[in-house]
Amino acid sequence: MQSLAFGLGLLSQSISEVVLRFLVGQQSQQYLLQFSFKGGFMANWQHHLKLKDISEAWDRKEIDSKKAGQMTAERIKHLAEHLKPAYASYKEEFLEIAEQFEDSADQDEYNDCLTQLYDLGDTKLDDEFPGKKLCWISFAF
């Protein structure tokens, strides 16, 4: 059986150089593969929607899917009202998704709305690498 461990390390204070290291172990043999490239690989997110506390409350069973939908909708509405001017054209799309979250009645519907939100947030805004994207949706940070 082969195992794979993945690590990411920044070798300098500058984000302009990132080194990825892959450690592959097979029985007692180990191989170190190192790849370097200039620039980062995370998109340049133009907005950030934080949902960690909603996710944690759900995990602790403090809220049901209906309440989670309502809370998420409120966050999306706030974001929609505070989009950077260059991206104001996405306001209606965010508000439509917020309405769907408000109407979500169970976990499956909530997850369907979340998929739509991720898709909208992942909208590519330029042709650069790694490029600008509309909104980072986070449950962890």
User: Has residue 47 got a pLDDT over 90?
Assistant: yes
CA distance to 12, 54, 55, 96, per residue, from 62 (Å): 42, 9, 10, 26
Is the whole model's pTM more than 0.75, yes or no?
A: no
Q: Which pLDDT tens digit goes with each residue over 14-39?
A: 333 333 333 334 344 433 333 333 44
CA distance to 4, 5, 8, 35, per residue, from 30 (Å): 10, 11, 17, 17
Per-residue pLDDT at 140: 77
Domain count along the chain: 2
**50 plus 98 within the same structural domain:** yes
Task: Give residue 8's domain range.
Answer: 2-38
Q: Which residue has the higher pLDDT, 125 or 37?
A: 125
Per-residue pLDDT at 40: 55
**80 plus 114 within the same structural domain:** yes
**17 plus 67 within the same structural domain:** no
**34 plus 59 within the same structural domain:** no
Mean of pLDDT over the chain: 78
**61 plus 111 within the same structural domain:** yes
**78 plus 125 within the same structural domain:** yes
Structure tokens at 23: 């450690």
**97 plus 31 within the same structural domain:** no
Structure tokens at 41: 């690989």
**30 plus 88 within the same structural domain:** no
Per-residue pLDDT at 56: 95
Q: Which helix (H) or strand (E) holds 106?
A: none
Per-residue pLDDT at 16: 33
Q: Which of 94, 103, 64, 58 is nearest to 76 (CA)?
A: 94
**108 plus 53 within the same structural domain:** yes
**32 plus 100 within the same structural domain:** no
**30 plus 80 within the same structural domain:** no
**26 plus 76 within the same structural domain:** no
Average pLDDT over residues 109-115: 96
